[in-house]
């Protein structure tokens, strides 16, 4: 989502040891326990889903009936005795965990506040499961808030596929957060997290997390979705429309003969995604624009908006093409043939092959939210981190690339944005309320804390990595990370291992201190006497040091002080001097001439929480 406040290496290895179902099934328990402690590419596995859904929508009551057939393949080395589904829409009921958390957190999200507590029965959201079968056998299950707990009739063996058949009824709530009806810009149906969605099982076990308001995590697979909906509604979303002629999608109104029945059938297929989202409105205008050597972009927005807002949507289209090109060049090629930018929801939120964004803001805002949400196609949709445990990896990296793209495409200042981002992080680090970046996303003490951690400190992590290993290595790391981990579930360690291989430096300390602790970086210039410079480490977090020295004769010299625990140096044109081992509180060296002044980190790439002592 969009932040909303304050202004290879192992690729060949990977293919050679990619687990097949049979190989996984025959793994010994020894291998299984190794896999549960780490996820090296050779022991990596992931579950697989194939959804087939048939959905009948009543646009007057905002209710829909669904039939879902789910083929689930257990690629894990473990025998599964139970499964869990997310029933996200149940969060929009008075007394739900989302409702109560929103009313008890000190700084509630204004969009939610106490609104859930006031929903009437015909306004709440729900998913009611009417029946569930495993390979034809009836299953017992229990709905517990936003999670369906299912006891299996027969355990699922490693390598085995089973078929679940489910019938369900659902009601789309009044728009509160992300999904919902008639959002504040009047979009009829924002259908996000709208179906019973199987929870992910990975090297950490089940992730049947309740929906309290934050983030998502899903199983990779193929979706085949058929929607029956009022013939006057236009639909956009995840996947490829299979019957465009039948629904008149992409054609001028009136050129297609509408059926005599009240409803049209829209059939979508989406291969290799971990979610399926759609939106529908009778007033959607639909434009397309082709990205050269890339996907077809779809734009769905309300034709009833004021004229200047409609013009913004036209102006956005060639810029969206540039965004798609920028990300494809700098991260990795967008692998699908379509991407849809859809007016809907309550801000901006990323989904598979599409985003739902508010559409009536000023152009800069519309561009900014599009830049951000589109970057999420890489950071969370393709590089599918668990957003609950690694919120920073998708929001921080997305924010970084969104700003970088904006600076190239609409000439915003990346430098200015980066400085502000560092300042907000430093403020947070000094506030006494900071929690580690790896805090579960729902478990932050304030909404503000979670946002600063994920969006700001996550951004700093990636930008500062360029300071630690060099700009070129940072850029290469991103591309190698994409090559190795697209269509999978990477974590922080997977990312830093790529950075280590690219740079040939040891970096576990960087991941550990910056994401798993609240240790801060604070280095200072202690004394300057003649040619002798003494620096001090005040904060607990280690860092290598870039230093700029001005001599009394007016000349300058840049120095690089490697951090000993990195076991190497980044590429640099500066004069490299002796290592600094972390535990030593001070570091003294002799310059070649009499020193006038010294500045630590002159480019301000290091997230030093007190810059006042960086200069003497
Ligand atoms: Zn985001």
CA of 394 to the centre of ligand 1 (A): 7
Would you say residue 96 lies in a domain?
yes
CA of 224 to the centre of ligand 1 (A): 27
Q: What integer is the mean pLDDT of 149-176?
A: 97
CB 211 within 8 A of CB 88: yes
What does the pLDDT read at residue 40? Answer: 62
Coil/strand/helix, residue 542: coil
What does the pLDDT read at residue 10? Answer: 36
Would you say residue 206 lies in a domain?
no
CA of 398 to the centre of ligand 1 (A): 6
CA of 301 to the centre of ligand 1 (A): 21
Say if residue 115's pLDDT is above 90.
yes
Q: How many domains does the chain have?
A: 2
Q: What integer is the mean pLDDT of 79-91?
A: 98
Q: What integer is the mean pLDDT of 189-194?
A: 97
Would you say residue 575 lies in a domain?
yes
Say if residue 598's pLDDT is above 90.
yes
Q: Which domain holds residue 66?
A: 48-200+217-307+335-362
Q: Tell me the C-alpha distance between 17 and 547, whole Å.
A: 44
CA of 88 to the centre of ligand 1 (A): 19
CA of 369 to the centre of ligand 1 (A): 9
CA of 543 to the centre of ligand 1 (A): 28
Q: Which of 362, 379, 409 is the last residue of a domain?
A: 362
CA of 111 to the centre of ligand 1 (A): 16
Q: What integer is the mean pLDDT of 404-413?
A: 96
Q: Tell me the C-alpha distance between 304 and 284, whole Å.
A: 8
Q: Which residues surround ligand 1, an ion (CB under 5 A)?
A: 1, 395, 398
Q: Is residue 552 very low, low, confident or very high in pLDDT (cuts 50, 70, 90)?
A: very high
CATH number of domain containing 560 = 2.60.40
Q: Which residue has the tokens 């190795």?
A: 484
Say if residue 500's pLDDT is above 60.
yes
CA distances from 104 to 1, 440, 478 (A): 22, 18, 39
Q: Is residue 248 very low, low, confident or very high in pLDDT (cuts 50, 70, 90)?
A: confident
**Residues in the chain, overall count:** 616
CA of 1 to the centre of ligand 1 (A): 3
Q: Tell me the C-alpha distance between 446 and 384, whole Å.
A: 25
**Any idea which of 19-28, 409-418, 524-533 has the lowest mean pLDDT?**
19-28
Average pLDDT over the chain, rounded to an integer: 92
CA of 482 to the centre of ligand 1 (A): 18
CA of 455 to the centre of ligand 1 (A): 8
CA of 210 to the centre of ligand 1 (A): 20
For 279-304, how does the pLDDT look when each residue is reduced to its tens digit (9 = 90+)?
999 999 999 999 999 999 999 999 99
CA of 20 to the centre of ligand 1 (A): 34
Q: Tell me the C-alpha distance between 289 and 298, whole Å.
A: 7
What does the pLDDT read at residue 445? Answer: 94
Q: Which residue has the tokens 């140096």?
A: 569
Q: Is residue 117 very low, low, confident or very high in pLDDT (cuts 50, 70, 90)?
A: very high
What does the pLDDT read at residue 41? Answer: 63
CA of 119 to the centre of ligand 1 (A): 27
Angle value at C-alpha 179, between 202 and 112, nearest 5 degrees: 100
CA of 503 to the centre of ligand 1 (A): 28
Using a pLDDT cut of 90, give the percent of the chain over it.
88
What does the pLDDT read at residue 247? Answer: 87
CA of 561 to the centre of ligand 1 (A): 36
Across the beta sheet with 296-302, the strand order is: 284-290, 296-302, 338-343, 354-357, 348-351
Would you say residue 490 lies in a domain?
no
CA of 472 to the centre of ligand 1 (A): 25
Using a pLDDT cut of 70, give the percent of the chain over it.
91
Q: Is 317 exposed, middle or buried (0-12, 13-18, 19+ CB in 10 A)?
A: middle
Q: What integer is the mean pLDDT of 97-116?
A: 94
Would you say residue 286 lies in a domain?
yes
Would you say residue 66 lies in a domain?
yes
What does the pLDDT read at residue 16? Answer: 39
What does the pLDDT read at residue 492? Answer: 97
Would you say residue 138 lies in a domain?
yes
CA of 375 to the centre of ligand 1 (A): 8
Q: Which of 347, 362, 377 is the last residue of a domain?
A: 362
What does the pLDDT read at residue 34? Answer: 38
CA of 4 to the centre of ligand 1 (A): 10
DSSP 568: S
Please state at what angle helix 508-516 crosses helix 492-503, rounded to 10 degrees.
150
CATH number of domain containing 170 = 2.60.40.1730
DSSP 566: G
Say if residue 199's pLDDT is above 80.
yes
- CB-side neighbour CA atoms (13 Å) of 497: 16
Say if residue 240's pLDDT is above 50.
yes
What does the pLDDT read at residue 249? Answer: 63
CA of 50 to the centre of ligand 1 (A): 27
What does the pLDDT read at residue 3? Answer: 63
């Amino acid at each position: 989502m969009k932040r909303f406040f304050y202004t290879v290496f192992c690729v060949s290895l990977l293919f050679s040891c990619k687990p097949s179902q049979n190989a996984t099934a025959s793994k010994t328990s020894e291998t299984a326990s190794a896999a549960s402690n780490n996820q090296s590419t050779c022991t990596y596995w992931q579950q697989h889903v194939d959804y087939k859904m048939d959905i009948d929508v009543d646009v007057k009551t905002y209710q829909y009936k669904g039939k879902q057939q789910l083929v689930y393949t257990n690629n894990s080395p473990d025998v599964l005795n139970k499964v869990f589904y997310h029933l996200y829409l149940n969060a929009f009921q008075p007394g739900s965990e989302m409702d109560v958390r929103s009313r008890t957190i000190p700084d509630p999200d204004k969009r939610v506040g106490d609104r859930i507590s006031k929903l009437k029965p015909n306004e709440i959201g729900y998913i009611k499961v009417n029946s569930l079968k495993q390979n034809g056998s009836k299953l017992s299950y229990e709905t517990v808030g936003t999670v369906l707990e299912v006891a299996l009739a027969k355990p699922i063996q490693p390598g085995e596929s089973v078929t679940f058949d489910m019938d369900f009824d659902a009601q789309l709530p009044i728009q509160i957060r992300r999904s919902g009806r008639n959002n504040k810009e009047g979009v009829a149906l924002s259908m996000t997290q709208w179906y019973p969605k199987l929870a992910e099982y990975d090297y950490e076990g089940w992730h049947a997390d309740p929906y309290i308001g934050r983030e998502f995590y899903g199983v990779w697979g193929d979706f085949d979705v058929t929607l029956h909906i009022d013939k006057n509604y236009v639909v956009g979303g995840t996947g490829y429309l299979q019957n465009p002629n039948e629904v008149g999608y992409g054609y001028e109104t009136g050129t297609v003969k509408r059926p005599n029945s009240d409803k049209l059938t829209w059939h979508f297929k989406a291969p290799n995604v971990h979610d399926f989202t759609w939106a529908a409105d009778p007033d959607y205008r639909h434009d397309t624009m082709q990205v050269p050597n890339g996907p077809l972009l779809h734009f769905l927005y309300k034709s009833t908006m004021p004229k200047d807002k409609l013009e913004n949507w036209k102006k956005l289209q060639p810029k969206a093409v540039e965004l798609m090109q920028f990300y494809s060049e700098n991260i990795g090629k967008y692998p699908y043939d379509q991407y849809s930018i859809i007016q809907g929801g309550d801000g901006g939120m990323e989904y598979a092959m599409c985003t739902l964004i508010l559409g009536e803001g000023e152009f800069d805002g519309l561009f900014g939210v599009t830049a951000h949400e589109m970057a999420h196609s890489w950071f969370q949709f393709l590089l599918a981190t668990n957003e609950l445990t690694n919120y920073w990896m998708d929001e921080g990296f997305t924010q970084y690339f969104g700003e970088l793209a904006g600076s190239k495409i609409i000439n915003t200042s990346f430098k200015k944005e980066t400085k502000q981002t560092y300042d907000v992080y430093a403020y947070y680090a000094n506030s006494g309320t900071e929690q580690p970046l790896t805090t579960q996303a729902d478990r932050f003490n304030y909404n503000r804390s979670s946002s600063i951690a994920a969006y700001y400190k996550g951004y700093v992590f990636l930008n500062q990595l360029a300071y630690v290993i060099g700009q070129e290595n940072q850029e290469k790391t991103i591309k190698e990370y994409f090559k190795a981990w697209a269509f999978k579930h990477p974590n922080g360690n997977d990312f830093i291992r790529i950075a280590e291989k690219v740079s040939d430096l040891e970096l576990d300390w960087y991941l550990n201190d910056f994401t798993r602790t609240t240790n801060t970086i604070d280095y200072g210039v202690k004394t300057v006497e003649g040619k002798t410079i003494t620096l001090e480490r005040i904060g607990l977090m280690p860092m290598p040091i870039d230093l700029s020295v001005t001599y009394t004769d007016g000349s300058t010299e840049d120095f690089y002080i490697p951090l000993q625990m990195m076991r190497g140096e980044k590429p640099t044109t500066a004069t490299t001097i002796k290592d600094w081992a972390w535990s030593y509180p001070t570091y003294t060296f002799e310059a070649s001439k009499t020193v006038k002044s010294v500045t630590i980190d002159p480019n301000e790439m290091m997230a030093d929480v007190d810059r006042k002592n960086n200069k003497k």
